[in-house]
């Protein structure tokens, strides 16, 4: 191995968003993660649902419920006279 071309491999502290902390080795001293083995649904067996309620309501509020009516008006066939 060539000298002085590789980063220093040292102890690193890992902090999860759930509050879990543990030590490992890495090229950086501190690592922050969103999910770890303590809070991951695969390991815990508990399903976490992300709060996505209100998306449809926000869409309808933004477009006033008239968004799809415009497309129907354009596609309306002409009456034969």
Question: Domain residues of the chain, as ranges?
Answer: 8-46
Q: Exposed/middle/buried for 14, CB within 10 Å: 0-12, 13-18, 19+? A: middle
Residues 6+ apart with CB under 8 A from 28: 12
Query: Are 19 and 35 within 8 A, CB to CB?
Result: no
Q: 35-78 pLDDT, tens per residue?
A: 888 887 776 777 655 545 677 777 777 777 666 666 556 666 66
Instruction: Please tell us whether the domain made up of 8-46 is placed in CATH 3.40.1710.10.
Output: no
Query: Are 28 and 10 within 8 A, CB to CB?
Result: no
Q: 9-20 pLDDT, tens per residue?
A: 999 999 998 889
- pTM greater than 0.75 (yes/no): no
């Amino acid at each position: 191995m060539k000298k002085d071309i590789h980063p220093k491999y040292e102890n690193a502290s890992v902090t999860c968003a759930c509050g879990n902390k543990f030590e490992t080795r890495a090229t950086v001293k501190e690592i922050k993660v969103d999910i770890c083995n303590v809070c991951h649904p695969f390991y815990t067996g508990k399903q976490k649902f992300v709060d996505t309620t209100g998306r449809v309501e926000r869409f309808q509020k933004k477009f006033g419920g008239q968004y799809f009516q415009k497309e129907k008006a354009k596609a309306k066939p002409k009456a034969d006279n």
